[in-house]
Structure 1
């Protein structure tokens, strides 16, 4: 989804608007007013403020280049477009962008266009391990059961959790008692618990209007699939993403309102202070005291769990990397894997972190624009190997969960990335 459209949808859909979302809405309204008035200077000022708020997201950089172009500042246009290209972002046929029409014959502009086109080229460092046996799952989240030596994944369209064996056989493990799509999933191995969220997704067919927008988190017995507990979310919250803290307590993110809550002893505790617009699947720091939070709109942050204080992570200037559009982050030592489906082209990226785990020292493109990638969603570390869902199906569905005209769902796949190049992929799991 283009970032600016995502921004509009995020602020319109938020039932309770956080401070960051309110700031975003104010800037978008100011830009629209300036556009109608033909005030190019104000539009540039807004674009520069958006770059700060969105932590240099590629589309915010591109919007700044558009603003400079309206002012006919070619030096700043080329400077900004070069920054855009360095993030790895792609914009198909940039030469057809009417906002740059006056530059199409300029050699520097053509050079930037070629660089952006290069960003569309496929990269593949992962291996397809197996294909799921059905097309109708809309597979969302995944975790690995080390005792049962199998994967669990959630299905949005079938409103259930499935167990996936190493050989690709698949069985329904537990169903939503509410008949809602099931989304986030995490295994608490020491306590033999399986935590899963269910969300009556607004806009999706097959759910009563009275339930839409409601959410809950369910606890199942890891061995039997029996429902043990169910905790309805606070009013208006939609639990799309989750991580467990060191005590096994779920920490949940609402990508619509921007809120992050923890469930402790059956009570909800809000952890954030309104810094996020659309937080996704988080990672716990090694010491358990903080979260690495990917905000789909604002980028990558570290949040102290006790205080809620937030610090934003920026990519290494020597090796820029887009940090928005991240659906999930997964930490393993100094490595951080990102499933990034809100950028073009969609990708899986490995970030190398500094010793403190708070700065990016480098990045590696793992998978990008490859034939089988489709729209990736979430993943899981199994030892030193990273497994992720590819070709989930989101990109062929409309907002009601129906196939787009001329499109059809194909089986999702499980892909494996092994950071060490000396090892050959197998499906032998611990």
Structure 2
């Protein structure tokens, strides 16, 4: 199920499975943690699963809202959820999803959407705001201090399939992983996007993204098996390498950082979920990867 053959890599120990979402939750997309509880999003049944000693259903989202990417808000003590109606068998179509917030007890605290069509897929949280990406049109929206509405922080047409985002260390730009365009830097003041090539050209195929100190960590699932990449973002380019050589994951999607470890959804279940009668015989593992040197929240 998970290939975890590891070469000798300085400062990295063996990754391990720290939770398994039961197989009745056929599609597991997002993961988040506050260091004590691990949350995962069960897409098809609209549930947020909470795992500590065991896993249980914490909340079920309103009809029509299916949870995808999730992120824990350390400042506001909320779990933010990118919720939509993905194009999957049994999921009714909709014109708009929402950015949803629940508290640690599962109580719904907010559901926000812009006026235009909105199909969010991933979300990230920083003290300076919440950022949510639309994979349908490449827009990234921000819920920024002093505002009660979501506004696009980049320009229409700049991106094509926005995925993971993370506020850069400078606090004035957001790094976005666009599945088609590659890795870009969005200027929060001007809304312009600078696409950052690597040594081999654009780095397309990155899904989940998180900042870990001065470095970014991305989930590459553009081809099988998936890999976890350490991405150094320079002024005009990026440098991406395997975080741990020899570590490969089946169908990885999202990633989170809870201050002491990186958590990755492995074997999410997208292939089976795309089939009308698809099922899974084993649960979705949440894999913990020890932090590389220099990683801090």
Above 0.5 in TM-score? yes
Partner Cα distance (1:302, 1:255) in 2: 17
Q: Secondary structure at the match of 1:281?
A: strand
Q: Please report how far the alpha carbon of residue 321 of structure 1 lies from its aligned counterpart in structure 2 after TM superposition.
A: 7.9
Q: 2:19 touches 2:51 (CA, 8 Å); kept in 1?
A: no
Q: Please report how far the alpha carbon of residue 180 of structure 1 lies from its aligned counterpart in structure 2 after TM superposition.
A: 2.8
Aligned twin of 1:154: 41
Q: 1:293 touches 1:300 (CA, 8 Å); kept in 2?
A: yes
> Which structure has more helix as a fraction of its residues?
1
Q: How is 1:200-349 mapped onto 2 (pairs within 5 angstroms)? A: 200-207=85-92, 209=93, 212-222=94-104, 224-247=105-128, 249-264=129-144, 265-273=147-155, 274-315=157-198, 317=199, 320=200, 323-349=203-229
Q: Report the structure number with the largest CA radius of gyration.
A: 1
Q: Secondary structure at the match of 2:150?
A: strand
Q: Secondary structure at the match of 2:44?
A: coil
Partner Cα distance (2:201, 2:229) in 1: 9
Q: How is 1:17-36 mapped onto 2 (pairs within 5 angstroms)? A: none
Q: How is 1:368-383 mapped onto 2 (pairs within 5 angstroms)? A: 370=248, 373-383=249-259
Could you tell me which of 60, 65, 69 is aligned with 1:184? 69
Partner Cα distance (1:160, 1:122) in 2: 29
Q: 1:346 touches 1:368 (CA, 8 Å); kept in 2?
A: no
Aligned twin of 1:417: 289
Partner Cα distance (1:241, 1:131) in 2: 21
Q: 1:366 touches 1:417 (CA, 8 Å); kept in 2?
A: no
1:226-269 per-position Cα deviation (integer Å, ceiling 9, x unaligned): 1122223433210111122423x322111011111223533231
Relative to structure 1, the CA distance from residue 141 to residue 299 in structure 2 (aligned partners, 3 Å threshold; closer, same or farther) is same
Aligned twin of 1:97: none
Q: 1:128 touches 1:413 (CA, 8 Å); kept in 2?
A: no
Q: Secondary structure at the match of 1:395?
A: helix
Q: Please report how far the alpha carbon of residue 415 of structure 1 lies from its aligned counterpart in structure 2 after TM superposition.
A: 1.3
1:264-312 per-position Cα deviation (integer Å, ceiling 9, x unaligned): 5332312111210001011111122111111101111111112112112
1:38-74 per-position Cα deviation (integer Å, ceiling 9, x unaligned): xxxxxxxxxxxxxxxxxxxxxxxxxxxxxxxxxxxxx
Query: How many residue pairs end up in the alignment?
Result: 282
Partner Cα distance (1:136, 1:233) in 2: 33
1:347-392 per-position Cα deviation (integer Å, ceiling 9, x unaligned): 21223445x6x6434512536684xx21001111233531211111
Q: Secondary structure at the match of 2:75?
A: helix
Q: 1:353 touches 1:361 (CA, 8 Å); kept in 2?
A: yes
Q: Flag structure 2 segments of 5+ consecutive residues without an equivalent.
A: 8-13
Q: 2:183 touches 2:195 (CA, 8 Å); kept in 1?
A: yes
Q: 1:345 touches 1:369 (CA, 8 Å); kept in 2?
A: no
Q: Which moved more, 1:129-138 or 1:269-278?
A: 129-138
RMSD, aligned α-carbons: 2.7
Q: Which moved more, 1:232-241 or 1:156-165?
A: 232-241
> Which structure has more strand as a fraction of its residues?
2
Q: Please report how far the alpha carbon of residue 206 of structure 1 lies from its aligned counterpart in structure 2 after TM superposition.
A: 4.2
Could you tell me the TM-score, scaled by structure 2's length? 0.84
